[in-house]
């Protein structure tokens, strides 16, 4: 599923909405929207982007010539923007993004479980094969059993590490790109970086695996919230933003007061 499901493209209705918001000219081709798109447009009208460029303007992909929603990144391999892009995976020859993240996560999770089961269930046979005198004869049964066991065990360790890494990301609502980009960043004034989408652990898992807990380990997207372009910010992030805005307002007032005092 993670191979065949499209990770997510920037929808036309979103491109139109953001271009209008930013006061840009909307080309006629972007305006051809169907009823479903209009419905999404109306629902989305209340929201706004969280991520902005340093000058405060919206994010824009120069390669696709299209607006970039929050958490969207341009994949150089696929040569297009991908919603909530995590990374481009050469093993599945596809990007991992908003629409196939759950399939990808379950794929690596079940992969680890199968490899561990193979290693555990064939451990006795592996010991017997190692004790056998023909274990070093290429092509012998003992050689094949021992090499298969080693392959499964080593691969389960490597994939297990990767799966653990993705579980940590999932619990904190990070994508791999966000982790790399935001690592070590601060929100100014020596404050630690506050990730906008890191809410409670349960909400973070629900964002990735769906709001119906019974379906968390079933490869289906039923119960997954959102539309791939808008994400709920955390209370901590909103408080931090309000604090920064207040601080900025106080700074501007002070500056204005000083300027006026100097001119009198
Ligand atoms: Zn792009
Ligand atoms: Zn890609």
Active site residue 89: yes
pLDDT tens for the 264 residues of the chain, in order = 777 788 888 887 777 777 777 666 666 555 555 556 556 555 555 556 777 766 666 788 888 888 888 899 999 999 999 999 999 999 999 999 999 999 999 999 999 999 999 999 999 988 888 888 887 888 888 889 999 999 999 999 999 999 999 999 999 999 999 998 876 665 555 567 888 888 899 999 999 999 999 999 999 889 888 888 888 888 888 888 888 778 777 766 665 555 444 443
Residues 6+ apart with CB under 8 A from 142: 128, 129, 130, 132, 134, 135
Using CA atoms, how far apart are residues 218 and 211, in angstroms rounded to an integer? 12
* Number of residues that make up the chain: 264
Residue with tokens 């840009």: 24
Using CA atoms, how far apart are residues 250 and 13, in angstroms rounded to an integer? 38
Angle at CA of residue 62, ends 84 and 170, nearest 5°: 10
Using CA atoms, how far apart are residues 239 and 18, in angstroms rounded to an integer? 25
Give the number of the ligand closest to the Cα of residue 73.
Answer: 1
Residue with tokens 């973070």: 204
In the reported structure, the alpha carbon of residue 64 is separated from the centroid of ligand 1 by a whole-number distance in angstroms of 4
- Residue 83 token pair: 């919603």
Using CA atoms, how far apart are residues 252 and 257, in angstroms rounded to an integer? 9
In the reported structure, the alpha carbon of residue 26 is separated from the centroid of ligand 1 by a whole-number distance in angstroms of 18
In the reported structure, the alpha carbon of residue 59 is separated from the centroid of ligand 2 by a whole-number distance in angstroms of 19
Positive or negative: CA dihedral 239, 166, 68, 206 = negative
Q: How many CB atoms lie within 10 A of CB 18?
A: 23
Around 131, how many Cα atoms within 13 Å sit in the side-chain half-sphere? 6
If DSSP codes are grouped into helix, strand and coil, which group holds residue 66?
strand
In the reported structure, the alpha carbon of residue 225 is separated from the centroid of ligand 2 by a whole-number distance in angstroms of 23
Using CA atoms, how far apart are residues 112 and 127, in angstroms rounded to an integer? 22
Give the number of the ligand closest to the Cα of residue 80.
Answer: 1
Query: 75, 81, 89, 95: which one is catalytic?
Result: 89
In the reported structure, the alpha carbon of residue 112 is separated from the centroid of ligand 1 by a whole-number distance in angstroms of 33
Using CA atoms, how far apart are residues 91 and 168, in angstroms rounded to an integer? 21
- Residue 153 token pair: 């065990």
Using CA atoms, how far apart are residues 125 and 134, in angstroms rounded to an integer? 14
Asked if residues 143 and 134 have their Cβ atoms less than 8 Å apart, the reply is: yes
For residue 161, the model assigns a pLDDT of: 94
For residue 188, the model assigns a pLDDT of: 53
Using CA atoms, how far apart are residues 118 and 7, in angstroms rounded to an integer? 31
């Amino acid at each position: 599923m993670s191979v065949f499901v499209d990770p997510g493209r920037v929808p036309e209705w979103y491109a139109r909405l953001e271009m209008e918001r930013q006061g840009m000219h909307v080309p006629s081709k972007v305006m051809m929207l169907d009823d479903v798109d209009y419905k999404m447009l109306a629902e989305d009208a209340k929201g706004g982007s969280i991520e902005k460029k340093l000058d405060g303007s919206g994010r824009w992909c120069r390669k696709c010539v299209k607006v970039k929603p929050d958490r969207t990144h341009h994949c150089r391999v696929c040569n297009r923007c991908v919603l909530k892009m995590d990374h481009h995976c050469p093993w599945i020859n596809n990007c991992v993004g908003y629409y196939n993240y759950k399939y990808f996560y379950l794929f690596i999770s079940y992969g680890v479980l199968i490899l561990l089961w193979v290693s555990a269930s064939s451990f006795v046979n592996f010991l017997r094969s190692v004790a056998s005198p023909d274990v070093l004869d290429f092509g012998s049964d003992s050689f094949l059993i021992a090499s298969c066991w080693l392959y499964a065990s080593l691969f389960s360790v490597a994939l297990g590490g990767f799966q653990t890494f993705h579980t940590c990301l999932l619990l904190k609502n990070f994508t791999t790109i966000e982790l790399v980009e935001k690592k070590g960043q601060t929100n100014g004034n020596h404050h630690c970086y506050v990730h906008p989408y890191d809410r409670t652990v349960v909400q973070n898992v629900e964002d990735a695996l769906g709001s119906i807990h019974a379906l968390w380990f079933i490869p289906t997207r039923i119960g997954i919230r959102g539309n791939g372009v808008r994400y709920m910010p955390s209370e901590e992030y909103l408080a931090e933003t309000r604090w920064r805005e207040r601080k900025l307002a106080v700074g501007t007032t002070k500056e204005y007061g000083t300027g006026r005092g100097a001119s009198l």
